[in-house]
Structure formats: structure tokens, C-alpha cells
Amino acid sequence: MIKALIFDFDGTIFDSEFTEYISWKETYDSFGVTLPQDKWLNSIGGVGLFDPYDYLEKLVGRSLEKETILTRRRQRDVALAAQQPVMPGVMDYLLTAKQLGLKTAVASSSEHSWVDASLERLGIIHHFDWISCRDDVGGKAKPNPDVYLAALAALGVAADEALALEDSPNGMIAAQKAGIFCVVVPNQLTSQLPFPQPDYRLTSLADMPLKQLLGHVSANGAPYLNSNAKRIREFHAAVGAPLPISLTMRNVENLALRKKLIDEEYQEVTAVYQQIIAALEAEQELDPVETLTPLAHELADLLYVVYGAIESFGIDADAVFREVHRANLQKAGGPRREDGKILKPPGWQPANVKSVIEKQ
């Protein structure tokens, strides 16, 4: 059960990452050189991964007045940041968290001098039970998990009782290293970055109410994308059609659509099988890659709609599959049909799918 929300700060609560990038880009432009966006993007969420000043001197090819440049750049950054509002959905999440009795914290790679002052300016510092920054943990920034571990300890919750909200790959890795389920919410810069194995992803916190997100986490656990069935749920949430999280009888139109999707994919699978069988019977030379690629693709499409059909009722397809798998394992050692199919041995008991559904 989720008992706490832990927010990243820069880029998640408000988009200071974009303002910092703009202030550095303008600085580079003033010297007639270009700030490489890839170097900047890969450093987001961490500290010391890329030094924009050192790289500026390298591009210009001479020593510069460092303090003057850094002071001017910082003043521009502060001016831009002062115009930035709280990111969409953040206030709704904070208010809902309070209603639900959830604890809240910030876990940031920035220092308290920046985070605390910014939260004060935004008028939301009182919404947080704890603020964990890199100067609390010996300067260890993300992707190290230390700021998250410190937040967990301060809130008095276990890792599996918390939900992290992050905008960058470095932040996501830090949260996951701490054992926390991480919801990735990229901003206009970090949306250009790859996120390997996110637990869940939203384009904005405004896209999904906190209660609905908590329902997904409760039903699926972490990591979110650890099965095909859960990937189906991720797809439906992404397209704005989240599936129910408890047993639900659907209407005629929904059932008819699911049946139609399965029929269409089954026909496409059958057609590819027939083509391959005909070619083999004609003793044609077949390239395995060229031959099996369309078959594997169509079979995966069939799996996709079948999993979707089960999950559309709020039924845990993974739990159903596990029970069927358990029953099928009992067929080991049983008789075989002439075509090779393993038959049920004496005393075999079918899968008790009803018990799985009743538990929901």
C-alpha cells in the first residue's frame, strides 16, 4: 500500500531545467558557439556529469572571465525561473495526497539553498513533510539513490510504500535503485531522452488523477512493465482509455469489439501459417528470418488483443495464466496424441480459474 509520494524537484515540480538550459544557451550564443543539446540532456537530473563552463572555454579556445560569466548567467536563470509556474497536475497531486493521508517529500540533486527558496517562492513548501537534498547526503546526487533513501528514512516508510515522480533518466534510476516505484513524467527537454524500463510513464501529471494512478500501482506493483498483461494496461492508460482495476462486466459493444479484434488478428495469423505451409509443401527454399518475421509479428499482435480482452474486464491476466500454467505442468508424463499434443493424465484436475477471479 502506498503511504508516501516523493517528488523530484527540478523539472518535475517546476521546469527550472528548461530555464537553466536557456540561460546557458544564450551564454554560448553570446560567444558565437553552440551548446550541444545532447551533452546537456544526458546530464539532467545529476550533478557534475557535464560542466557547461569548461566546455564553453574549450569551444572558444581561450580563458574567460569565469566569475563574471557565471554571475550573469545565474542572474538570467533566476529571472527566467521566477516566471515559471508549478508544473501541471502537481498541486492536484499534493492536495489529493493530503486528503488521502499520504506523506509527501522532495528528493532533489540540488541543494537546499535552491530548493527551499524556490518552494517558498512557489508558495508550496508547507505541502511537504520532508525535503531531501544532496547536501543532506554528502553531496551524492542522482543517479545515486541516497536522496531517496534519506527521504524514506525521514518519512518512516518502506521503499514499497512510496511512489516517486521523476522527469529524467538519472532520477528514475536513483528512485529504482532505492527500490521505489517510479512514475516518469518527462518535461519538454527530457521527453527527448530514452527511459530504459520505466515503472510507469505519463506525459503530464494532469493526464491521470492521483487516485487512478494509485489504483494502477496497487493492482500491478513494481516494476509496472514486468509482464505482457501490464504492458497492455500501460498502452490503454497512454491512449486515455485506462482499463478497470477490479472485476467489471462490460457492455455488448465492448465485447463485440474485443471479439472482432481477436477474429481479425486470428485470421492474419492463419493466413501467414497457410503461406508458410504451402511453401514448405512445394519444397521451396525459405529464409528463416524473412519467413518467421511476419509470423512472429502476427502472433504477437494476437497475444496483444487476447491479453487486452482478459484485462478489459479488470481480470488479472497474469494470475489467470499462472493458474493455467500450474494445471498444465501436471500434464507432464501424460500420454501423447499422434500429432504430439500432450493429453491429460489420469486424475488430472483443470485450472481453477474461478478461484483466481473470485480473489479479485
Among the candidates 198, 226, 254, a domain finishes at 226
- Report the C-alpha gap between 197 and 61 in whole angstroms: 40
State the average pLDDT over residues 313-322.
Answer: 89
Same domain? 262 vs 304: yes
**Domain-located, residue 255:** yes
- Report the C-alpha gap between 244 and 313 in whole angstroms: 7
Same domain? 132 vs 153: yes
Same domain? 88 vs 192: yes
Burial tier of 320 (Cβ tally within 10 Å: 0-12, 13-18, 19+) = middle
**Domain-located, residue 338:** yes
pLDDT tens track for 109-148: 999 998 999 999 899 999 999 999 999 999 999 988 999 9
- Report the C-alpha gap between 158 and 160 in whole angstroms: 6
Note down the domain range covering 137: 1-226
Number of structural domains in the chain: 3
- Report the C-alpha gap between 302 and 276 in whole angstroms: 18
The residues annotated with a catalytic role in the active site are 8, 10
Same domain? 221 vs 285: no
Same domain? 170 vs 267: no
On the question of pLDDT at 222 being above 70, the answer is no
Q: Which residues, in sequence order, are CB contacts of 9 under 8 Å at separation 6+?
A: 16, 106, 107, 108, 110, 115, 118, 119
Closest by CA to 41, choosing from 251, 192, 263, is 192
Same domain? 146 vs 221: yes
On the question of pLDDT at 159 being above 60, the answer is yes
CATH label of the domain that carries residue 40:
3.40.50.1000
pLDDT value for 48: 67
On the question of pLDDT at 55 being above 90, the answer is no
On the question of pLDDT at 225 being above 60, the answer is no
pLDDT band at residue 7, thresholds of 50, 70 and 90? very high
CATH label of the domain that carries residue 288:
1.10.3420.10
Q: Which three cell numbers stand for residue 296?
A: 512472429
On the question of pLDDT at 257 being above 90, the answer is yes
pLDDT value for 269: 97
Closest by CA to 132, choosing from 3, 4, 1, is 4
**Domain-located, residue 251:** yes
**Domain-located, residue 237:** no
> Of 71-85, 196-210, 290-304, which has the strongest mean pLDDT?
290-304
**Domain-located, residue 247:** yes
